[in-house]
Amino acid sequence: MARDPKHNILFEPIQIGPKTLRNRFYQVPHCIGAGSDKPGFQAAHRSVKAEGGWAAMNTEYCSIHPESDDTHRLSARIWDEGDVRNLRAMTDEVHKYGALAGIEMWYGGAHAPCMESRATPRGPSQYASEFETLSYCKEMDQADINMVQQYYVEAAQRARDAGFDIVYVYGAHSYLPLQFLNPYYNKRTDKYGGSLENRARFWLETLEKVRRAVGQDCAIATRFAVDTVYGPGQIEVEVDGMKFIELADPLVDLWDVDVGDIAEWGEDAGPSRFYQQGHQVPWTKFVKQVSKKPVLGVGRFTDPEKMTEIVTKGYADIIGAARPSIADPFLPQKIEEGRYDDIRVCIGCNVCISRWEIGGPPMICTQNATAGEEYRRGWHPEKFRKTKSSDAVLVVGAGPSGSECARVLMESGYTVHLYDSAEKIGGHLNTIATLPGLGEWSYHRDYRETQLNKLVKKNKDSVIALGQKRLTADDILQYGADKVVIATGASWNTDGTNCLSHEPIPGADASRADQLTPEQVMEGKKPIGKRVVILNADTYFMAPSLAEKLAVAGHEVTLVSGVHLANYMHFTLEYPNMMRRLHELGVEELGDHFCSRIEPGRLEIYNIWGDGSRRTYRGPGVSPRDANKTHRWLEFDSLILVTGRHSDCTLFNELKARESEWEENGVKSVYLIGDAEAPRLIADATFTGHRLAREIEEANPQYPLPYKREVAVWGTAHMPGGEFKIEYKV
């Protein structure tokens, strides 16, 4: 198939300074946990997108000097020749596919904690970072300004030597140039403070110096948060934003624009819970009114119709993407070939971002299990090793893990029977996607459902059997499959078992009329009273999502949480808006409280710190509850137990117990994947299914093969030699 002609405009080349983008698809800088320390990971992840049709690939934020050290997180670095050599692996691989390579030069000011380098960052004024802990900067004098601007120049020269085509002076997310421009940070009274022209001076001078140094060889870009979304007192697009664009326009070849700041950069990388694709277009339109240079807009663009609209209406010239390029590195190629229903649509869960926020483990993706695995496991998102085996595989459970496992097995040429008692593929995602704001998470199910239906048509012996009776161990042994994969998922605990006590809560029983599990709430079959208490010992989205759902429905909701409510949502950038939403709806939160026992219509709660300033020996038979004086009763009409999950692995355990019968029934092996093995993130459940399918012909595929580790060799005085090479297990 060929692409729809109305999308032709997306494939027109664009000139940016001395360089040409081959089309309008542009992977903006984003963090992956590779930096300069893992050159294989960096090169393989970026280059697979170049192969997939993206016209430019950028690094993550790239430190220009040890004064801008973001440890414990992992940024790229261009401090010295060793970094030049490591980053050249990326540029070489990207160039093989005719794409451009860009580097986002970063100086963080007080937002760089310098935990490794122990250097002192410098900024326009001295302030404490609102993002980091106990991180201050030194206020710059003129000598400091000259020195830091020279850091940019020297880093740009190293970047050119590393083979980069596009060099950024990075000023979004409250980093250094924006700190001079933003009066929130800049309290100076000299020529670098006060008026807009003065506050813009540092940035403009830096752009001039970088352009003089490398502008003949490299396109000069700047990433600019045109609105910090705080209103007066900071950067507003129609006040300082557009004026700065006019001042700097002659000095740049490309504008990469976004909104927000570092403390709440979820306003930029907006999670789908709160922001639809293209949510930044209203700001980007202002930039196009004043800039004569190409303007790049971001906003989690996944739909070619929306992309085309953005360009044809003149809102932006280039489609910038981070998360969509992770979910589907071959998105441009699929649009070009008219394979629209083969696109793995980004669901906007921001789990990819969460790994950088945690501190820099390799990035993962809920939709694309190969993301982050391109080098170390040799996985390619579109290529699969074709099997010569005639084995038939039965996959029991069509949730995230089971459906992904079945998909990859079919892609590899296996005959697969995917079996589930539910009427639809998706498992617990089908109910999760009904929670407020989580509808786009169903794209995970939709992609697998579409691909599996296509694959079944190609392999007439494969079967998708939905809405069937639950299989027993006898059924499976007699089924006729050579290999069996159990992906039966997990359920919420009905007895209150939790991570605090590791025991049931006395009186907790979701079979009672006035107590419910999250599944029972989402199924909607059990009546829920006016006064709802949600008892929480989970640290992700379930408790606040249920609170929002029920508050919107008119219930009076109280959240009793013995753990940090929604802590993981800090990492996915959902937390600030989630808390605002609960406050807006009048949800009451009792943090640092948990439950000691439950009686009809009431639960006994206590402050988890109420035992006093330290743990002491209480004597035999004296429980913390008896010693604690802070207990009180809280009444409810309905109590929701969000206390923990357990694997539904009974079927697997029964099959393992009958292993002696496998051979006589033709069963070679039985595997356990996903939540049935251990409850986990949807991304990790998907990964387990993908990994097992990739490695099912190995000696013991239940357990992962070793992966390539990129390590520094102790005692070496220079970078080790050897040609870099990417290998895919296909």
Residues assigned a catalytic role = 175
∠214-217-218 over CA atoms, to 5°? 75
Tokens representing residue 149 in the block: 């601007």
Which two tokens mark 156? 């740009």
Q: Which helix (H) or strand (E) holds 688?
A: helix 682-694
Q: Which amino acid is at 21?
A: L
Say how far apart CA 406 and CA 430 lie, in whole Å. 18
**Pair type for strands 19-21 and 14-16:** antiparallel
Gap between the Cα atoms of 430 and 443, Å rounded: 10
- Contact at 8 Å (CB) between 649 and 488? yes
Instruction: Enter the tokens of residue 475.
Output: 């059924």
Burial of 55 (0-12, 13-18, 19+ CB in 10 A): buried
Q: 276-295: buried (b, 16+ CB within 10 Å) or exposed (e) per residue?
A: ebbbbbebbbbbbeebebbb
Buried/exposed code over 231-260 (b: 16+ C-beta within 10 A; e: otherwise): eeebbbbeebbbebbebbeebbbbbbbbbb
29: three-class secondary structure by DSSP: coil
Instruction: Evaluate whether 595 touches 535 at the Cβ level (below 8 Å).
Output: yes
Residues linked to residue 669 through DSSP beta bridges, in sequence order: 483
Number of Cβ atoms within 10 Å of the Cβ of 212: 11
490-492 vs 645-647, strand pairing mode = antiparallel
Q: Which two tokens stand for residue 495?
A: 């007895």
Helix (H) or strand (E) holding 549: helix 542-552
Which residue has tokens 């696109």? 343
> 98 Cβ partners below 8 Å, 6+ apart?
22, 50
Query: How many CB atoms are closer than 10 A to CB 36?
Result: 26
Cβ–Cβ < 8 Å for 496, 595:
yes
Q: Is 521 exposed, middle or buried, given 0-12, 13-18 or 19+ CB atoms closer than 10 A?
A: buried
Decide if 226 contacts 283 (C-beta within 8 A): yes
Q: Please name the helix (run of DSSP H) or strand (run of DSSP E) that holds residue 560, with its range, or none.
A: strand 556-561
308: tokens are 């085309």
Q: Which residues contact 378 (CB under 8 A, 6 or more apart)?
A: 708, 726, 727, 728, 729
β-pair type (632-635, 602-607): antiparallel
Which one-letter amino acid corresponds to residue 408?
V
Quote the CA–CA distance of 300 and 326 in Å, as a whole number.
11
DSSP string covering 204-223: HHHHHHHHHHHTTTSEEEEE
- DSSP letter assigned to residue 659: G
